[in-house]
Amino acid sequence: MPFNVTPLDSARPDFAGLATGIDLSEPVNEALASQIDDAMNRYAVLVFRGQPLTQDQQLDFARGLGPLDVGFKRVASPHARLKYQELADISNLNEEGEIADRNHRRIVGNLANQLWHSDSSFQKPSARYSMLHCVVPAAKGGETEFADMRAAYDALEDDRKAELDGLEVEHYALHSRFFLGDTDYDEAQRAALPPVQWPLVRQHAGSHRKHLYIGAHATHVPGRTVAEGRMMLVDLLEHATQRQFVYTHSWQAGDLVIWDNRCTLHRGRHYDLSQHRELRRATTQDIDRTAATAATAATAEHGAN
C-alpha cells in the first residue's frame, strides 16, 4: 500500500493527518523522505499508528529526515536510561526504570513540556521535525496538543499583522525552566545556549505560508519594553491556542507523531506522575537535508585522502 495521508479532522483539512502505507522500521530513502516533507508542508502534524519501534529504528527513521538535534541536552545532564543522547527521554522513570521521585530533574522536564513551546526555538539552527514515539501511554490523561501557527496568523486582523511585521523575539533555553522555579544551573550551563532572536512572523520554507513563532522559550520583544513585549506574547499565545487551531492526540502504544516545529506549538497534558508513562523523542535540525548529506560525504572523503 503506498504512502497516504488523510485529514484527522474534516473541519481542518490542512492540519494533522493520519499517515498510512509505510513501515517506519524500514530505512527511509530520499524519495520517501520527500513524500513525508510534502505531507508535512501541508499538514504540519502526521500521526502513525501501530508502529512499535526500537530505539535504533526510531533514530534511523529520524536520520532519514535530516541531521539530528540534541537541543536542551547542551544544558541538561546526560541521561543514562536510553541508549542514545539523541533520544529525549519523555518519561517519568528514573535511571533504573522505576517511577521517578517528584524532585527528579526529569519530572521538572515533564512539567516544562506542559507549556506551549516549539522544540529548540532557543538555538540556531532550530528544530525542524520532532518525532515522538509512545512506548507506554498514561492510564489517563497525558495527551499531546498541537497548535497551528499558520492558521493562527491567518486569523489575525490586518492591522495586527501590520503591527507584528518586522518585530523580533528573543528565545532563551532556560526561560521556561526559570518560570517553573528551576534555577539550579551553573554559569557554564546558563551560557551553553545563549539567547537568539527570531522574527515574530516567519514564512514557512515548504508551504510559503506565514506563521507566528512564539512559545515558552520567548522572553521578550526587543525594541519594546519588557512589560509591553511580554503582554504582546501572552495575547498572541492566547489567540493562537484557541480550540479551533488545536489538534489533541490521545496516545496508544506504538504511535509515532511527527510535527513541524517551525509552524506549530505543542504541549503535553497533565497525567498522574505516580503512574508509568514512557515516550521518547528524536528531533532533526532545520537544515537542508541534501546539503547536510553532501557536506558529510565530502568530509568523510577528505578524511580518507
Q: In sequence order, what DSSP letters do the residues of 21-58 get, joined into one string?
A: S--TTSPPPHHHHHHHHHHHHHHSEEEE-S----HHHH
Q: What is the structure's pLDDT at 164?
A: 98
Q: What is the structure's pLDDT at 294?
A: 47
Task: Locate 241 and state its grid cell.
Answer: 491556542
DSSP letter for 222, please. T
Q: What is the structure's pLDDT at 300?
A: 46
Q: What is the structure's pLDDT at 76?
A: 72
Q: What is the structure's pLDDT at 274?
A: 94
Mean pLDDT per 10-residue interval, the chain, length 305 residues: 94 97 96 97 98 98 96 73 93 93 85 96 97 98 98 98 98 94 90 95 98 98 98 98 98 98 98 96 93 52 53
| Distance (Å, whole) CA 5 – CA 19 | 4
Q: What is the structure's pLDDT at 298?
A: 47
Q: What is the structure's pLDDT at 104?
A: 86
| Distance (Å, whole) CA 214 – CA 262 | 10
Q: What is the structure's pLDDT at 305?
A: 52
Residue range 4-154+246-304, CATH number:
3.60.130.10
